[in-house]
Amino acid sequence: MRDGDRNSPGPAHILLVDDNRLGLTVRKSVLEDLGHSITTAQHGQEALELFTAGAFDLVITDYRMPKMDGFELIKSIRAVAPAARIILISGYAEALGMTEASTGADAVVPKNANEVTHLVREVNRLLLRGVPRKPSRRQGSRLKAKRGTA
């Protein structure tokens, strides 16, 4: 954490995934300027191999990629590490109504004029506070039962 800045997390190791080299380079530069260490992958299969071999604080993935899209990557990462922090970035987020619930990501950032601002905000949120996890179905049932008996 930077001196006196409670809204900036300390350096993190981030896995950044995008088949578009320009988008990958720009996002990497922004995140490195924030002090983070970035490992890049150009498709989902490469990212999954890197993820299982290394330790990452956060994964940021594009949706549309060859070989394995962002949904498949998120599902594969969740199978290995259910609590992994994941941000999905997509130019289709708004058009397809992508949400955290529908994608399995902890945050969905649309590719638009405000992308960098939203990405930085979500990175900071997930790294500072962690991921507010939804209760499992079993825990959710117990919570509903408790509320119903109160």
Domain tally, the chain: 1
What's the pLDDT score for residue 146?
40
What's the pLDDT band for 99 if we cut at 50, 70, 90? confident
* Residue 4 within any structural domain of the chain: no
- Please answer whether residues 70 and 90 qualify as being in contact, where contact means their C-beta atoms are separated by less than 8 angstroms: yes
Distance CA 83, CA 70 (A): 17
- For the cut 80, the answer to whether the pLDDT of residue 145 exceeds it is no
Window from 31-35, 55-59, 111-115 with minimum mean pLDDT:
111-115
Buried b (16+ CB within 10 A) or exposed e, 108-123: bbbbeeebeebbbebb
pTM here is: 0.79
* Residue 5 within any structural domain of the chain: no
The CATH number linked to 99 is 3.40.50.2300
| Tens-digit pLDDT profile for residues 14-42 | 999 999 999 899 999 999 999 999 999 99
* Residue 1 within any structural domain of the chain: no
Domain residues for the domain of 85 are 13-149
Averaged pLDDT, 40-45: 93
List the one residue out of 80, 142, 77 whose CA is nearest residue 106: 77
Three-class SS of the chain: CCCCCCCCCCCCEEEEECCCHHHHHHHHHHHHHCCCEEEEECCHHHHHHHHHHCCCCEEEEECCCCCCCHHHHHHHHHHHCCCCCEEEEECCCCCCCCCHHHHCCCEEEECCCCHHHHHHHHHHHHHHHCCCCCCCHHHHHHHHHHHHHC
* Residue 2 within any structural domain of the chain: no
* Residue 6 within any structural domain of the chain: no
* Residue 94 within any structural domain of the chain: yes
